[in-house]
Structure 1
Amino acid sequence: MVQETHTGEETTVAAASVVSEVLQESVSVVEESEAHKNGDVIAEERSAEPTPESKSVPPQASPAESSKVLPQYLYDAMEQVAREQGFTEGKYTLTFDIGSNKGDGFVGEMFKAHLVEGDRREVYLCKIPPINEARRKQFPSLMIFARETLAYSKLLPLMFAYQREKGVSEADGFFNAPKCYHSYCNEAAEESIIIMEDLRLQSYRMWDKMKTVNYEHARLVMEQLGRLHAVSFALKRDRPQEFEQFKVADPMHEMMPEGSPFEMMMKKVIGDAIETLDPSETKERSKMQHLHDNFRQEMLRCSNSDLAEPYTVLGHGDCWVNNMMYRYKNGVPERIVLLDWQIARYVTPVLDLAYFIFCGTDEEFRRRHYDEMMGIYYNSLAALLEKLGHNPQEVFPRTALMRQLRTFGRFGVLMAVFLVPMLCTRNEDLLDMDEAAEKYRDGQEMDLGMLVRNANQTAYAVRMRGVIKDIVRYGYL
């Protein structure tokens, strides 16, 4: 599959591990967000066509990073962006910052690119598959890079153009993804790159992943998920032929063959989650044990689009806090952007909702606001559907949402058993993905307990137990 796109101003967006991350970041990948937090380590610098006005500067890398050689296609793509953005060939300098955080996942790596010509300085974020060969071979990065390329090159531009044709303003619709300057994927050549704007330069910030999300931040997420799903529902009805190409299955079907190391790891973390329950909580323990014993079947069932029809949408797929950035006004979040579209998939809308609510909030928040959050989501979806010319009661009645929550809501705990340990672990204590991949390649056993062991045990136990109890209390498990 070869796809290449150069998005101009018209696809500028107002800003998810797939069209991203295993199990949705389950393999928690290099999220755009992590790059926004990284420090600057200048790795390589190159001038375009050295001339008397501009000469090449030798690469400058720290000793720890000196083995990380950036691929030629990364330079080629940035030089194309430079031309398209009006930089003068031979007179600008191209510099990359490298230095990934521990815990960057299997799926890819993020670099900042700096283009400088005279007084003009521009910063871009470049996302590519893992440079480390062991990581590339152990995880099907290219498959989901192709999916994210499809999202940035076709899906999001179509969504934005469709809403504008219907007279929907950015204030009322879904336009909340990063501006993409270039997206390309060639699976056969093992090359892929997505070049985006650096949202930090527009005062966007991430939420601290070790804190549960508060009301104002959660409200923005639920509003935008409602709008995203509304556009998907409307497009599916108004432009069925165009929409057909986006009916992509959950990548987990291919990422998780039976007996795979990932399946073993997931069963281990489900077992760890069970141990956060009190011995007297026999109902919860029994239901979680059933989930453990049937993990793979439950995952595939939750992502089965046929079971969700006719209420199936093209969802974001990776709705955890590291895939969201907020812009603030007077200390209050006023706008959110959804990052990382590598796991976008055609499934029930409930997967996005359950993923965010059960991984991003805590038991106390859900006790106070769960029903309200679902109301915010549905009202947002219904309002945009009406603006797009559709009757919400025909397209996705609220009773259908409730039924789908009962059927697919358990997805929240399936994601939480993997993600909550990571959310309770400091970045410096996360696994070094290159090192882990190389050890596994060399025949060493995977350390199945590393996820939970490195977490703050008190925080992990409280959050995980709360997720399990709520999933059972709501009748989702």
Structure 2
Amino acid sequence: MEDIPEHLKDLLHKIAKEQNFVDYEVAIKPISSGGANYTSWLYTASITEGARTLRLFAKVAAIGEKMRAQAPKMYDTERYCYTQLVHIYERLQEEHRVPPDQRLAFSPFYGCNPVRFQETIVLADLVAAGYEPYDRFRTIDLPYAETAITELAKMHAASMAYGKYHPEDFVEILDKVRFEWAMDDPGMKAYMENIISTATSNVNEENKAKFAKYFAEQDMKVFTALFKSSRREVLGHGDYRPSNLMHKILDDGKVDIKIVDLQTLQGGSPIIDLLYFIFTGSDEQFRAKYFDRLVEHYYSQLSAAMKRFNLNPQEIFSKEDFEQELKEKLPFGLTLATFILPLVTVETEHAPKVDENTDFEAFSIQKTNDLYKQRLNGVVNDYVKWGILK
């Protein structure tokens, strides 16, 4: 087990004892995310005793002081999600007798280390259970998209139920996980400037001036404030894209999805997660066919999930409120795509290398490719078509 952190070994031995292993062996293997994870070192592990094997997945903190100053709560947030929030949602689903096949389910959690610079989360190894990440270079297909949006609706409905039945606790949690954008940080400013400059240089000539004007007129502080505001604030995922989901195809052909990577959980508009997923996971041709359908699918699934918690959708988040908020938040899809598509499409060998010296400026990817240009211009074309870029 060379180059394996001692604190990870210690945590796995602790888990082994908690799971009633006695005379066992532990095997740990570092793995690569292929450019899909930028905050943690990743490992698979197995604990074996006789014919019994427990297969695990571990995330170990990788970033140092620079990026922690820009995003100080990410490890605390994910640990809170698995140690507390997941159980809160489970209790709410039990109390309201949500049918087992309609429940929100996360990856099983086995343990964590909260020590600063050793932060670790240990979960079930979903790959060993037949799940896999979606190929980030390939646009989503409809069955996958509808299933992912159904799971997102379940997550948002659980948050709405929490806010309805335990309002004081919910407000406290929102404050606990609140993500503050370090807009005045020099690294953050450089990151944003570089991303916008790279994007502008890749936008087709007929739309370049419109795109540049959009960002020149955008006040990022106003953007971040509106990003969070909502007629119905939820605990959203914050980075809801195919790279942060695991899926497998069941024997009946249906898709099963597990939501992972909860470091960016934050209070805000449910619309943001929806737009984030669609614009980071699809291309222009897919959206031309299915954008409206997915929007309708989200609200129908959200409404159904709210009813399972004995909530009245008209009272909690009506279709009228949803449609009005979608109209207000739709422009943010362009900003989200501009900042996230470089990471979604970057070739593995050109992905940012994360270490203790990494800050946000490191994510200003300069080595873009044809896929990035195609996806970005597809989003720009949508916003021209919708009259938002003009």
TM over 0.5: yes
Partner of 2:79: 149
Q: Give CA-to-partner distance per residue, 1:351-374, whole Å, 9 cap, x none.
A: 101100111111111111111101
Q: Which residue of 2 aligns with 1:82?
A: 16
Tell me the CA shift for residue 240 of structure 1. 1.3
Asked if the contact 1:234/1:390 (under 8 Å) is kept, the reply is yes
Residue in structure 2 matched with residue 108 of structure 1 by the alignment: 40
Q: State the partner residue of 1:139.
A: 67
Q: Shift of residue 108 of structure 1?
A: 1.6
Give the Å deviation of 1:206. Answer: 1.6
| Partner of residue 279, structure 2 | 358
2:377 aligns with: 465
Partner-residue secondary structure (3-state), 1:139: helix
1:296 aligns with 2:220: yes
1:124-172 Cα distance to aligned partner (Å, 9 max, x none): 1111211xxxx41221176211001111111111111211211102212
Distance 2:336 2:383 in 1: 12
Report the 3-state secondary structure (helix = DSSP H, G, I; strand = E; otherwise coil) of the residue aligned with 1:383. Answer: helix
1:417–1:249 distance in 2 versus 1, CA, 3 Å: farther
Q: Distance in 2 between matches of 1:109 and 1:235?
A: 32
Mark the structure with the bigger radius of gyration. 1
- By how many angstroms is 1:287 displaced? 4.9
Aligned letter for 2:329? F
Aligned to 1:312: 233
Change (3 A) 1:340 1:128: same
Work out whether 1:260 is the aligned partner of 2:195.
no
Moved more, 95-104 or 385-394: 95-104
What SS does structure 1 have at the residue aligned with 2:5?
Answer: coil
**How many residue pairs align between the two structures?**
387
d(CA) in 2 for partners of 1:107 and 1:295?
28
CA contact (8 A) 1:249 1:347 kept: no
Whole-Å separation in 2 of the counterparts to 1:447 and 1:98:
23
- Equivalent residues of 2:28, 2:45 under 8 A apart: yes
| C-alpha distance in structure 2 between counterparts of 1:144 and 1:364, whole Å | 34
Cα drift, residue 428 of structure 1: 2.7
Letter in 1 for 2:118: E
Q: Spell out structure 1 runs of 4+ moving beyond 4 A.
A: 249-252, 446-449
Identity of aligned residues (%): 23
Given the superposition, is the C-alpha separation of residues 343 and 248 from structure 1 closer, same or farther in structure 2, using an over 3 Å criterion?
Answer: farther
Work out which of the residue numbers 122, 127, 136 in structure 2 matches 1:200. Answer: 127
Relative to 1, partners in 2 of residues 1:245 and 1:476: Cα closer, same or farther, differing over 3 Å?
A: farther
Partner of 2:164: 237
**1:122 maps to amino acid:** L
TM value normalised by structure 1:
0.75
CA 476–150 in structure 1, closer or farther in 2 if over 3 Å, else same: farther
In structure 2, distance between residues paired with 1:332 and 1:267: 45
**Structure 1 residues 342 and 204, CA gap change in structure 2 (3 angstroms):** same
Query: Where do 5+ consecutive residues of structure 2 fail to align?
Result: none
Q: Do the aligned residues in 1 keep the contact of 2:134 with 2:247 (CA within 8 Å)?
A: yes
Give yes or no for contact 1:87–1:117 (8 Å, CA) kept in 2. Answer: yes
Distance across 2 between alignment mates of 1:361 and 1:459: 12
1:93 and 2:15 are equivalent in the alignment: no
In 1, Cα distance between equivalents of 2:31 and 2:286? 36
Give yes or no for contact 1:273–1:465 (8 Å, CA) kept in 2.
no
Paired amino acid for 1:208: D
Q: Which residue of 2 aligns with 1:22?
A: none
The alignment's C-alpha RMSD in Å is: 2.6
Find the counterpart in structure 2 of residue 414 from structure 1: 335
SS in 1 for 2:102: coil
Q: Distance in 2 between matches of 1:427 and 1:331?
A: 33
Give the 3 Å change call, closer, same or farther, for CA 215–298 of structure 1 in structure 2.
farther
